[in-house]
Structure 1
Amino acid sequence: MSSVDIVIPNYNYGRYLRACADSVLSQDIDLRLLIIDNASTDKSVEIACEIAARDPRVELRLRRENLGPHCSFNEGIDWARSDYFLLLFADDLLVPGALRRAATIMDREPDIAFTYGRDVAIKGNEPIPHINRRPVHVPYRLHQGRAFIKQFCRLGVFQIPGPSIVIRTSVQKRVGYYRTELPHSDDYDVWLRLALHGSIAELDCIQAGIRSHDANRSSELRARQIMHILHTAQAAECFFAHEGKDMPDSAYLLQLARRGIAERAYWSAVSHIQRREPGAMELLKLAFTLRPRTAILPPLGYLLRRPDTVRRFKALIGAGNVADVRVA
């Protein structure tokens, strides 16, 4: 049977660490767990030691100084030796059976670089919602690597939950480390690089829980959407300046990415205006800079390309409020 290595980087998330580790250790598959604490000042180290003391599958790296998240991510890549690899933040969690479902599909399809599924949202310290256990064999869609990259370029964003991503370890080793020059979009760059080495399986089920709270970096970025979009643009430029430059039609794909990011910025600005939130003018300026024609013609085609447009407008109609539709 295949095995999975899971790395939980942690910094001051002791209040969430136990639930995260328990969601891993309760998985019905051969696994190892590495918790890397980055010199936390809360009770994280005490909690990590308690977790390791009761389960021999758990290893610890307890740092005396904070070396930054990239050092933890990349140490985890070096440590991994099992068939599959997962990087799971300490404030997120796996749902029951997630690892076996992913491994079963990847065992069957050796060309798959990584799998992902849907997520369930958890707000702050709310209880973890009950999720009905799914069977081992679930429906899934295969995306060829180039098509996956092209879809990112067309939308200017990835719509996949990071905690659900299970990677073939040999591919992760080939792709290498997270780039320190991309502090907020390093994951986008890695996913693009992984897609150069195989197909991607999208599981039709919930695989992970993502917790949103004031302290996590995704919440910090979404508070200023302009920054999230700028970081996405940096990831695209970095990818096509390095590994992606050797792709067929790489220049076309880079232009497509700039267009997708511009059109995403445009509709994010519209959402901000509808919600009377600050930042709309910054987003419009970015859209007009990257794609000047958006100043004259609204990019309606972008909404048609987004797979979540119908769902968003159904929510809009049901709520009777245009401000309920936000372009992420």
Structure 2
Amino acid sequence: MTAVDIIVPCYNYGRFLGRCVGSLLVQEGCDIRVLVIDDCSTDDSLATAQAIAATDPRVHLVAHPQNRGHIATYNEGIDWIEAPFMLLLSADDVLAPGALARATRLMEDDPSLAFVYGKAVKFTDEAVIAAEPTADPAAAVCHRSGRDFIASICGKPENPVETATVIVRSAIQKRVGGYRPELPHSGDLEMWLRLAVHGDVAEVEAVQAFTRIHAHNMRHGYSTERMLGDYRQRIEAFRLFFERGADGLADVAALEALARRGLSSELLWAAIRTFEEGAPREAEAMRNLAVAAFPPVTSSSLWWRLRVRELLGRRVWGAVDGMRRLRPSGGAP
């Protein structure tokens, strides 16, 4: 059977850990090993992990005496893997039935694939998992070259891939190395780009994982400042990728410009909304970041849409915009 190593980083998710690991141990068609890494949790995570490991020899455990953070924990797991394929699954998420067999079958049949991903269903109630159909052996597959995958992300510079669904070819993961400490909130985006330099990518039209939504998700870790934080991290992810991870990729300058232009445009749209919602200082911060990301944006119509609002001021712009909205359609311009 195909061997898959699975890394389960855990910090204060003891209440979810049993459900997560249980979804791995029932996977069929694969020979699995699970490494739970407890990052010095202050809840019952360690005790829960110890109890699980004691009942199944496929489950291994590492307990940190001090908290090392999620990036270091991920990379420790990557160093541990030995199987041909690997998965990184947060302890609050759940793998869908058949997910491993579905992905590894594709990768065994096609050595060009660097990784396979699929759909993720967000949930708060466990009933969602039972109700969602997942066993679809004939699920459609979209196969793209690594470069086409990278170009699609640069064209729409956001992360389209949920980590919980990604099965990676371990040899390529080892080749590109671990997650970057500089990217605590966008390391996965940069990782998909890096992996795609070294192989093709397949997307399965099937549910591969369930991602739990709750108050303590790391994805909620970052308001206007939160939005700015997200943009800063994405800008940095693309910068580091093109600076350090894109060797051998054709048309690097054009792809980087495409990503930076897209991020800059997103920021200007966000700045316009933020200005109109009554937060001109925050809008200015977004504008400045847009320019830093892609200086030529200052010649765009979108830039001037924002600047007209800022130069008029919110009160005058509000009056002008109100008159504009009252003008009958089809009237004089």
**TM-score normalised by structure 2 residue count:** 0.83
What stretches of structure 2 of length at least 5 have no aligned partner? 304-333
Matches within 5 A, 1:138-157: 138-157=139-158
- State the 1:151 CA deviation: 1.3
**Which string of whole-angstrom CA distances, capped at 9 and with x for unpartnered residues, describes residues 289-315 of structure 1?**
43454675239xxxxxxxxxxxxxxxx
- Is 1:283 aligned to 2:286, yes or no? yes
Matches within 5 A, 1:175-324: 175-221=176-222, 224-269=226-271, 279-291=282-294, 292-293=296-297, 296-298=300-302
- State the 1:56 CA deviation: 1.2
Give % identity. 38
- State the 1:238 CA deviation: 0.6
Give the 3-state SS of the residue equivalent to 2:302 in structure 1: coil
CA distance in 1, matches of 2:158, 2:272: 17
**TM-score normalised by structure 1 residue count:** 0.84
Question: Does structure 2 retain, via aligned residues, the 8 Å contact 1:38–1:68?
Answer: yes
Aligned-CA RMSD value: 2.2
Give the 3-state SS of the residue equivalent to 2:120 in structure 1: strand
Q: 1:259 to 1:98 in 2, by over 3 A?
A: same
- Is 1:73 aligned to 2:102, yes or no? no
Question: Does structure 2 retain, via aligned residues, the 8 Å contact 1:155–1:264?
Answer: no
Q: How many aligned residue pairs are there?
A: 297
CA distance in 1, matches of 2:3, 2:277: 47
Match of 2:17 in 1: 17
- State the 1:133 CA deviation: 3.2
Give the 3-state SS of the residue equivalent to 2:241 in structure 1: helix
CA distance in 1, matches of 2:50, 2:86: 22
Give the 3-state SS of the residue equivalent to 1:78 in structure 2: helix
Question: Does structure 1 retain, via aligned residues, the 8 Å contact 2:92–2:212?
Answer: yes
Question: Does structure 2 retain, via aligned residues, the 8 Å contact 1:288–1:295?
Answer: no
Question: Does structure 2 retain, via aligned residues, the 8 Å contact 1:269–1:284?
Answer: yes
Q: 1:5 to 1:128 in 2, by over 3 A?
A: farther
CA distance in 2, matches of 1:230, 1:107: 38
Q: 1:216 to 1:249 in 2, by over 3 A?
A: same
Give the 3-state SS of the residue equivalent to 1:138 in structure 2: coil
Match of 1:127 in 2: 126
Match of 1:306 in 2: none
Q: 1:120 to 1:271 in 2, by over 3 A?
A: farther
Q: 1:286 to 1:108 in 2, by over 3 A?
A: same
**Which string of whole-angstrom CA distances, capped at 9 and with x for unpartnered residues, describes residues 85-137 of structure 1?**
000011111111111111111111111000000111113xx324122232334
What stretches of structure 1 of length at least 5 have no aligned partner? 300-328
